[in-house]
A and B are shown apart, each in its own frame.
Chain A
């Protein structure tokens, strides 16, 4: 397949993920829209073109791993995994309902395809690194991807993990930083800024750093992952400069972390995502 064709496929996949994630959250009327929307393109690239996974055998031992350390982006993971065939997508519509297998934050014991449990911020960084270490000790030719939020990078554990991954030369580890500039209480810089920037921080810790100018552009993300695959002897950090709430008409302008929009706002957002999917398909 030509690259242009593949990128077109990924754009459609991203639009589908966004629509499903919005609809699942919308089915209950509230949830973590902002941080789910910002990582949609990265998930489309991983599950659409990069990761070796087997939806029929989620714990396949040679698979690539994906850990959503910013666990509140669960709905984006659930839409992606459902569309990828890990389970019928309809199941994701039980999101946050009693006894669901699709809780707010990703849970390895509940959802097929979720590799590690997250929710308490910073922890997915360490568990992903543990998984990368284990896979490396097994001489496996696979990768572990982990998503951390920019607000999550307030947590000291992220940096304890960052040191460890360098010490153990984990070149099978790729960390995406979802640099959407907003955390729960407002703009990251107004709450707990990141000095010279998160890319500079990871660089200072000894990581290979790739800055992606538009973290909601599938081609730029894909190119960054391909570049990360060539790096030996150190982990790679891909800084995704994203937009919180991307594509959700009520969430994007406000950069809201979690939203409780009105029924009309939901209808508008879902209609807009449907229109966007149709537009992208026609390209």
Chain B
């Protein structure tokens, strides 16, 4: 694992999806067995580029996600490395039984990609806003479940997933996001990344909440609270060692996720904490609500997914020590 943290809270000029597409272009060139199957969304995540360059490795199943998942599993059985994409809501809810039985249970390691996670579905609204996608896939035995942070991470993890023999689900914001890592960063599936060290509280975040956590750390530092910040992009298998070590060192934990807290990152971390090193915990995330339509900024305020919310939660956790 090696990376350079940028920490300027500025958006990447490139669309996040190209972190995936660039990795696929590279892998498809090197290996004719690497495939992508999409559900009438080539033009949403720029996979039209893959189809143009690799027509025998890129397939469009139309608006039929359940079938697409099965096709992906069947392709996998012919010795291929297969990535299947749809919007996060459909890649999880719509095709879940197929992902479970045809792929995961059958030990056919399809890599499922769900775009526009949580509030990032913004103007597509509540119908398209998955706050439960990670929860569904975390319930699948042996599945690898990932909420990546930015372009550099998606680019790296796409290649790491392709090399793994585990069924997986990875989220992906389509448009631009805050650039947290320099290009070329290297990550390890199942290993959290410590972005800032601290001694009073640990903030464990993933996806779009990582930059919010970094901003919260700055505010807390100005107020004399030293926060450790961890990017826990792999929710399953979760990095137990890093959680235990951080709980012991800081004595308080705040989790932050763009997802339902009751069956997401907060739950996964609290299971480790409760069993190994009970410390006060606070959880930032969706509190048992459905999504709704609106700009992402509005939605982050509406659901309490901002740096300010993390700061408040951190103070509360520290006060409970």
Point out residues on A near B: beta carbons under 8 Å. 61, 107-109, 115-117, 119-120, 122-123, 125-135, 137-138, 156-157, 160-161, 163-164, 167-168
A128 touches B74 (CB 8 A): yes
B66 surroundings in chain A (CB, below 8 A): 122, 126, 156-157, 160
Given A109-B107, A126-B102, A128-B74, are A133 and B67 also a contact pair (CB < 8 Å)?
Answer: no
A117 touches B70 (CB 8 A): no
B74 touches A134 (CB 8 A): yes
Q: How far is the CB of B190 from chain A (nearest CB, A)?
A: 23
Q: How far is the CB of A194 from chain B (nearest CB, A)?
A: 19
Give bound CA distance, A115 to B66, whole Å.
20
B73 touches A127 (CB 8 A): yes
B64 touches A164 (CB 8 A): yes
Interchain CB contact (< 8 A) of A127 among B57, B64, B102: B102
- Count residues on chain B whose CB falls below 8 Å from chain A CBs: 28
Asked whether any CB of chain A lies closer than 8 Å to the CB of B263, the reply is no
Asked whether any CB of chain A lies closer than 8 Å to the CB of B98, the reply is yes
Q: Which residue of B lies closest to A162 (CB)?
A: B67
Given A117-B106, A126-B102, are A131 and B97 also a contact pair (CB < 8 Å)?
Answer: no
Asked whether any CB of chain A lies closer than 8 Å to the CB of B71, the reply is yes
Given A120-B97, A161-B67, are A127 and B77 also a contact pair (CB < 8 Å)?
Answer: yes
Q: How far is the CB of A134 from chain B (nearest CB, A)?
A: 3
Query: Could you count the A-B residue pairs with CB atoms below 8 Å apart for me: how many are there?
Result: 102
B319 surroundings in chain A (CB, below 8 A): none
Given A130-B75, A134-B75, A134-B77, are A161 and B70 also a contact pair (CB < 8 Å)?
Answer: yes
Tell me what chain B mostly uses at the interface: helix, strand, loop, or mixed: helix
- In the A-B complex, the 9 residue pairs with the smallest Cβ-Cβ separation, listed nearest first, are A130-B74, A126-B70, A134-B78, A160-B67, A117-B106, A130-B71, A160-B64, A127-B74, A131-B74
Q: How far is the CB of A71 from chain B (nearest CB, A)?
A: 10
B78 touches A138 (CB 8 A): yes
Given A123-B98, A127-B102, are A116 and B74 also a contact pair (CB < 8 Å)?
Answer: yes
Extra contacts, 9 of them, besides A127-B70, A127-B73, A161-B67 (Cβ < 8 A), are A123-B70, A127-B77, A130-B73, A130-B76, A130-B77, A131-B77, A131-B78, A134-B79, A160-B67
A108 surroundings in chain B (CB, below 8 A): 77, 106-107
Q: Which residue of B lies closest to A67 (CB)?
A: B74
A116 surroundings in chain B (CB, below 8 A): 73-74, 77, 102, 106
A-B contact pairs, 23 of them (CB 8 A): A108-B106, A116-B74, A117-B101, A117-B106, A119-B101, A120-B101, A122-B66, A123-B102, A126-B70, A126-B74, A130-B70, A130-B71, A130-B74, A130-B75, A131-B77, A132-B74, A134-B74, A138-B78, A157-B67, A160-B66, A161-B71, A163-B62, A164-B62
Q: Which residue of B lies closest to A108 (CB)?
A: B106
Q: How far is the CB of A277 from chain B (nearest CB, A)?
A: 34
Q: Which residue of A lies closest to B73 (CB)?
A: A127
Asked whether any CB of chain A lies closer than 8 Å to the CB of B105, the reply is yes
